[in-house]
Structure formats: structure tokens, C-alpha cells
């Protein structure tokens, strides 16, 4: 579906929360499923469909967001998916804290191995601290690692050049490596 058509449906949904949502879901479902698959593969406890449906429930409740466009919507969806995964990891590790750090694959194409709960929570903590230092770098990490967007897709969402995203992605990776190593 064309970008402007989804944007129009998003705006219609803002005007009529019930009817607009039901028109929008069939148009976004497949793309959200791809996002959910990218994120669920990093989390061994979640299935793609389960994560997708949890996200749809949370998205439907987003009645105060002013949707700018399709990219804004998908970025919010990816963030919600990340939060769902983090909440689940926190619940599972609430009673069993421990060591066991592992290699942190910051490139979504680097590994299909799922992250363990401790690593996922550590990465979330690092992302929160990075957001305090540089919100743009944190958003790039969020889009690349958790949503699985390519450099080009991230540049489009962030509305800047791919070369800039590539430079900032490298800076963020170094920052996160140092953070997670300490």
C-alpha cells in the first residue's frame, strides 16, 4: 500500500478511533508481522504472532498520539515491541539474578541467536543511559537492534542521510560496547 494511503488511514483513525482502526489493521498487519519477527527472533520466549498481537493491543490504545506518517507509526510500533520484550524479560528474571554475560550482537543481521534475559535487560538499561547522553543515537540503536531496520530504512525514518546514520551507528555501537563491558 502506498505511504500516503497508510498515512491517510492513520489520520482517519485519529478522527474515528473505532472504525478507523479496523480499516487500518489489514493494511499494516503484514509489515508489523515482519517487525515482530525481527524482534521476536532476538527473544527466545516470544513467538512472532504473540508479539504482534500484544503490539496491536497496545497500538489500539494509543489515542493521544498525533501520527505524522507511516514511518512514525512503525517506529512507535517497534518501540512498543521492544518494551513488551523488556517487560517479559524483567518478569522472568525477577527471581533469578545472575551473571552470564554473552556476546551482544548489535547488528540485526549479525546473528539469529536469541538474547538471554539478562543481556536484553542490560541492553535496555544501556539504551536508557544512552538516551540521556544522546537521544538521536539511542533512537538509531532502537531502530537498528530492536526493530531490525536497515541503515537505509533508519535514515528514512530519521529523515537524514544514510552516511550520517552509518557514522552515528558506529558511534553508538562503540558507546554500547564500552557500557556493556563495564
pLDDT digits (tens, 9 = 90+) for 116-144: 677 778 888 888 899 999 999 999 988 88
- Per-residue pLDDT of 28-87, as tens digits, reads 999 999 888 887 776 556 688 888 999 998 998 887 788 888 888 988 898 899 888 888
For residue 43, list its beta bridge partners. 115
Surface-to-core class of residue 62, CB atoms within 10 Å of its CB (0-12 exposed, 13-18 middle, 19+ buried): middle
Q: Are 66 and 113 in contact (CB under 8 A)?
A: no
Straight-line distance from the first to the last Cα atom of the chain, in angstroms, rounded to the nearest whole number: 46
Question: Rounded mean pLDDT of the chain?
Answer: 81
Surface-to-core class of residue 169, CB atoms within 10 Å of its CB (0-12 exposed, 13-18 middle, 19+ buried): buried
Q: Are 156 and 170 in contact (CB under 8 A)?
A: no
Amino acid at each position: 500500500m502506498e505511504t500516503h494511503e497508510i498515512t491517510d488511514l492513520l489520520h482517519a483513525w485519529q478522527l474515528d478511533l473505532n472504525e478507523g482502526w479496523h480499516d487500518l489493521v489489514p493494511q499494516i498487519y503484514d509489515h508489523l508481522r515482519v517487525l515482530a519477527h525481527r524482534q521476536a527472533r532476538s527473544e527466545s520466549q516470544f513467538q512472532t504472532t504473540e508479539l504482534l498481537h500484544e503490539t496491536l493491543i497496545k497500538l489500539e490504545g494509543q489515542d493521544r498520539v498525533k501520527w505524522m506518517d507511516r514511518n512514525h507509526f512503525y517506529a512507535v510500533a517497534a518501540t512498543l515491541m521492544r518494551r513488551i520484550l523488556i517487560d517479559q524479560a524483567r518478569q522472568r528474571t525477577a527471581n533469578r539474578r545472575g551473571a552470564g554475560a554473552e556476546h551482544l550482537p548489535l547488528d540485526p543481521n549479525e546473528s539469529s541467536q536469541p538474547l538471554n534475559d539478562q543481556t536484553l535487560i542490560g541492553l535496555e538499561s544501556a539504551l536508557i543511559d544512552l538516551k540521556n547522553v544522546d537521544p538521536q543515537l539511542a533512537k538509531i540503536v532502537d531502530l537498528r537492534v530492536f526493530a531490525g531496520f536497515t541503515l537505509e530504512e533508519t535514515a528514512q525514518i530519521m529523515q537524514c542521510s544514510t552516511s550520517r546514520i552509518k557514522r552515528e551507528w558506529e558511534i553508538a555501537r562503540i558507546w554500547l560496547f564500552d557500557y556493556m563491558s563495564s
